[in-house]
Homo-oligomer: A and B are copies of this chain.
Amino acid sequence: MTTTDRTISREIQLAARPQGAPKDSDFALIERELGQPGSGEVLVRNLYLTVDPYMRGRMNDVKSYTPPFALNETMTGGAVGEVVASGVDTLKPGDLVLHDQGWRTHAVLKATSARKVDARPGVSPSAYLGILGMPGQTAYAGLLEVAAMKPGDVVFVSGAAGAVGSAVGQIARLKGAGRVIGSAGSADKVAHLTGKLGFDAAFNYKDGPVMAQLREAAPDGIDVYFDNVGGDHLEAALAAFKVFGRAALCGAISQYNATSAPSAPRNLALAIGKQLTLKGFIVGTYNSVFPQFVQEVGGWLASGELHYDETVVEGIENMPRAFMGMLSGENTGKMVVKL
C-alpha cells in the first residue's frame, strides 16, 4: 500500500446517533484515499485500535468533557501504529507511535500529535492502549490520587474484569490494600479475579442484589470504592462505606446506553453522617503522575507481579462489534482491535 503515492485507509464513521445500545446500522465502513505526508507530518499504519467506554458518550450530541463525534465523519480514539513515511526528522519509518487517529487503518497526522513509544520485549504494542496507557493511568491516578488509597484500606472496584478495573484491583493489592473486592458480570470473570488477578473476593453482580453480595464480601465495610459502573453498585458502596470512605467516580457504564434517567443511588444522604467523599475525575487532569505510573506499573509488568489481559478482535470491519461487545461486557481485560 505504501509503495505508491496513494494509500487506501479503511475507516469507521458514525452513521447515526445510537438510541440506547448501539447497533450495526449506527456505523459505516468507508474507504478513503490518503496522500503522502507533507512537511511536519507522518503517515502511520495502525497496528492496534482501542475501544473504550467513554466513546459511547461521544456518540450522543451532548456537550461533555470531550466533544461529540460528528455524523458521517471518521471517529477518533487511541491507536498504536508504525510510521511508514515521514516528513520530519524526529520520526522515521518503522518507529512505533501512539496517537489519537483511531477507528481507521491508516492516518496522516502532525508529527507533534504522535508520541514515540518503545517496543518492549515481551510486551505487545497494544499495551500502550491499556495497562501502560490511558486505562492504566486512569486506574493508577484514580486509586492513589483521587481516592487516596492507603495501605490497609478495604478496596472495592466494579467492572473489575475490565481494562481499568483489573488494573485498579491489582494496583491496590500491590500497594498494600487490606482487602480487595471486585464485581464482574460472569462466573468466568469472577474466577479470573480471585485466580490470576489475586483479588481477595469477587462476585457476579448478575447473581443477586449488589448490596447483599458486597456486604457478604466485605462484612466490616469498605474504605475505598472505585466506580466504573454507577447505579446500584454505587448505591451498594454508599451502604458499605465506613466513616470517611472515599469514592473515585470514573465511569457509569450501567447508564451509558440508558435512555431514561437512572434512579439509583437513592441513599446518597448516607454521605453526610459517614462523612464520605465522592470525587469524579478524568485521567487528563492527572497527567503529572505519568512518569511515576509508567515506572511503577512497567516494573510490575516486567516482574510478572501484575497480570495483563486483552481481548483481541481482528479487522477494522469488526470494530463496531468490538465496541458493542465491550459495552455489554464480552471482554476480559482491555478490548483492542488488531489490524
Per the bound structure, the CA–CA distance linking A277 and B243 in Å amounts to: 17
Q: Which of A10-18, A158-166, A278-286 contacts B (4 or more CB under 8 A)?
A: A278-286
Residues 212 to 265 of chain A near chain B (Cβ within 8 Å): 230, 234, 243, 249-252, 255, 261-263, 265
Q: Are B278 and A285 in contact (CB under 8 A)?
A: no
> Which residue of the partner chain, among B261, B266, B273, B282, contacts A272 with CB atoms under 8 Å?
B282
Q: Are A271 and B282 in contact (CB under 8 A)?
A: no
> Which residue of the partner chain, among B243, B267, B275, B280, contacts A271 with CB atoms under 8 Å?
B280
Size category of the binding interface on chain A: 20 to 34
Per the bound structure, the CA–CA distance linking A57 and B249 in Å amounts to: 28
Residues in chain B near residue A252, CB distance under 8 A = 269, 272
Q: Are B273 and A282 in contact (CB under 8 A)?
A: yes
User: Is A303 located at the chain interface by the 8 A CB criterion?
Assistant: no
Q: Are B272 and A267 in contact (CB under 8 A)?
A: no
* Contacts known (A262-B266, A279-B277); A272 close to B285, Cβ less than 8 A: no
The copy count of this chain in the complex is 2
User: Is A80 located at the chain interface by the 8 A CB criterion?
Assistant: no
> Which residue of the partner chain, among B65, B251, B276, contacts A279 with CB atoms under 8 Å?
B276
> Which residue of the partner chain, among B57, B234, B285, contacts A275 with CB atoms under 8 Å?
B285
Q: Are B269 and A268 in contact (CB under 8 A)?
A: no
Residues in chain B near residue A255, CB distance under 8 A = 269
Residues in chain B near residue A234, CB distance under 8 A = 268
User: Is A3 located at the chain interface by the 8 A CB criterion?
Assistant: no
> Which residue of the partner chain, among B230, B251, B269, B278, contacts A230 with CB atoms under 8 Å?
B269
Per the bound structure, the CA–CA distance linking A132 and B252 in Å amounts to: 42
Residue of B nearest to A281 (CB): B275
User: Is A64 located at the chain interface by the 8 A CB criterion?
Assistant: yes
Q: Are A265 and B268 in contact (CB under 8 A)?
A: yes
User: Is A206 located at the chain interface by the 8 A CB criterion?
Assistant: no
Residues in chain B near residue A280, CB distance under 8 A = 270-277
Residue of B nearest to A276 (CB): B280
Per the bound structure, the CA–CA distance linking A23 and B276 in Å amounts to: 32
Per the bound structure, the CA–CA distance linking A199 and B94 in Å amounts to: 64
Residue of B nearest to A277 (CB): B279
Residue of B nearest to A234 (CB): B268
Q: Are A278 and B277 in contact (CB under 8 A)?
A: yes
Per the bound structure, the CA–CA distance linking A275 and B286 in Å amounts to: 12
Per the bound structure, the CA–CA distance linking A280 and B243 in Å amounts to: 10
* Contacts known (A263-B266, A266-B263, A268-B268); A273 close to B65, Cβ less than 8 A: yes
Per the bound structure, the CA–CA distance linking A230 and B267 in Å amounts to: 10
Residues in chain B near residue A281, CB distance under 8 A = 272, 275
* Contacts known (A277-B277, A279-B277); A249 close to B272, Cβ less than 8 A: yes
Q: Are B273 and A266 in contact (CB under 8 A)?
A: no
The contact sample of 22 A-B pairs, CB cut-off 8 A, is: A65-B273, A65-B275, A230-B268, A230-B269, A249-B271, A250-B272, A252-B272, A261-B267, A262-B269, A263-B266, A265-B268, A268-B268, A268-B278, A272-B280, A272-B281, A272-B282, A273-B280, A274-B280, A275-B285, A276-B279, A277-B280, A278-B278
